[in-house]
Amino acid sequence: GEGPLELLGTLRQEEIPIHLTLADSHALYDESLAGVVSFRSGEFDVEKMVLLHRKLLGTVLGMTRVEALAVPRPLVSVPEETSVADGLRAMAANGVFSVPLTRRGRVVGVVTMLDAVVFTVELLQGETKALDVLYTTETMASLLGRSGRTEAWNPVAGADTLLKAFSSFAHGVHHVCVLDPEHRLTGFVTQTDAVRLFAEHKNLLGPHASRLILDVGMHRPRAQISAIGGSVAAWQAFQVMHNRDISAVAVVDREDYFAADISANHLEGICYDTFHLLFVSCTSFLEVSKYTRDYIVIHELATVSELVDELAAKHAHRAWITSKGGKLLGLISLTDFLSAVVEGISGQVITKVEKVA
């Protein structure tokens, strides 16, 4: 009665050897299983290893239900008439970057921090002088769909397979809402939950686990990354996000050494009392911001296995890749990683909605 993940875990824990032949379409192979898995037909070359890896991963994701990956977490929602300031404050207090809006107890949509970015930039470009007041008078309903990311409300059933959820993640959806048979919201599964799956079951990474992140080809090179200097006003960082339809920008010095990043999530908690912080420099904004960092910095010689461990442990949404000296070289978002996973299964290139930096 065990699913693929539970069965694999049991076999490894009990040190039960698994004997497979080339005819086994769902064969398990990974260097991390050395001594546990043996092949009667001898050693396989890399091409065959990758083929078997695809079949294993496709089998696991196609047979495991979404509900098996869901982690119990408080369901945070706000009425659609909640003010923008109070809505962002609720998101900050609960450590969430998107929130369902309800009308008479039923979910009518999801507002994300990207919607808040667009709202804020449009206020700053307007003629009104009472910008901070609008944060307290405008409602969360006015943010709905501002970013154009209509995929934010992307429900799945608990009985759906992980493959369906992963396909959404690969296209830039950060989370999927899980509904019960009566279509009531019961929870969320996020991109972070998906990465945690690989951190806990490294065999699913197949032969890629020990490869360098720059060699796998899932990262975005420096030329594709938006960056600004620390002296630039913080609101201009959000304007860059809005203009380029991205969710984060790197903050670098004059020699392109990575210092930090500013993302859409830095708007959490912005209200009447803190709106003025948008007009200070990025460096000053980062010093006083109460925002919890949601990125990691990883060395160019790190492996895919190390990347997954760091992303899962820090609950990070992206990894900035730097040289030994700290120069910015590239970026890997959770969408980049999960797109590579789904592309590996399907053999088809994914068109991503999300642009990170």
Give the Cα separation of 321 and 268 in Å (integer).
25
CA gyration radius for the chain? 22
Q: Which whole number is the average pLDDT over 46-58?
A: 62
- Considering only CA atoms, which of 71, 328, 286 is closest in space to residue 197? 71
pLDDT tens, 239-254?
Answer: 898 888 888 999 999 9
- pTM for this predicted structure: 0.76
pLDDT tens, 290-331?
Answer: 776 889 999 999 999 999 999 999 999 999 999 999 999 999
Phi/psi class of residue 149: alpha, beta or left (left: φ > 0; alpha: ψ in -120 to 50)? beta
Higher pLDDT, 253 or 49: 253
Helix (H) or strand (E) holding 271: none
pLDDT tens, 168-224?
Answer: 888 888 888 887 787 777 778 889 999 999 998 888 888 788 889 998 888 999 999
Q: Look-up: residue for tokens 């492996």? A: 303
Beta strands in 6-105 (DSSP E): 18-20, 37-39, 78-79, 98-103
List b or e across 318-353, with b for residues whose CB sees 16 or more CB atoms inside 10 angstroms: bbbbbeeebbbbbbbbbbbbbbbbbebbeeeebebb
Q: Are 239 and 247 in contact (CB under 8 A)?
A: no
Burial of 223 from C-beta contacts in 10 A (0-12 / 13-18 / 19+): exposed
Contacting residues for 150 by C-beta, under 8 A, at least 6 apart: none
pLDDT of residue 4: 54
Q: Look-up: residue for tokens 């053999």? A: 347
Report residue 31 as tokens: 């260097």
Tell me the CB-side half-sphere exposure of residue 264, using CA atoms within 13 A. 28
Phi/psi class of residue 326: alpha, beta or left (left: φ > 0; alpha: ψ in -120 to 50)? left
Q: Which whole number is the average pLDDT over 157-166?
A: 88
Q: Are 52 and 37 in contact (CB under 8 A)?
A: no
183-187, 275-279, 285-289, 349-353: segment of lowest average pLDDT: 349-353
Confidence label for 27 from pLDDT (cuts 50, 70 and 90)? very low
Helix axes 162-170, 191-200, angle to 10 degrees: 120
pLDDT of residue 281: 96
What is the distance, to the nearest Å, from the Cα of residue 118 to the centroid of all Cα atoms in its chain? Answer: 20
Q: Are 315 and 261 in contact (CB under 8 A)?
A: no
Report residue 116 as tokens: 């808040």
Residues for the chain: how many in total? 357
- Considering only CA atoms, which of 317, 297, 340 is closest in space to residue 113? 317
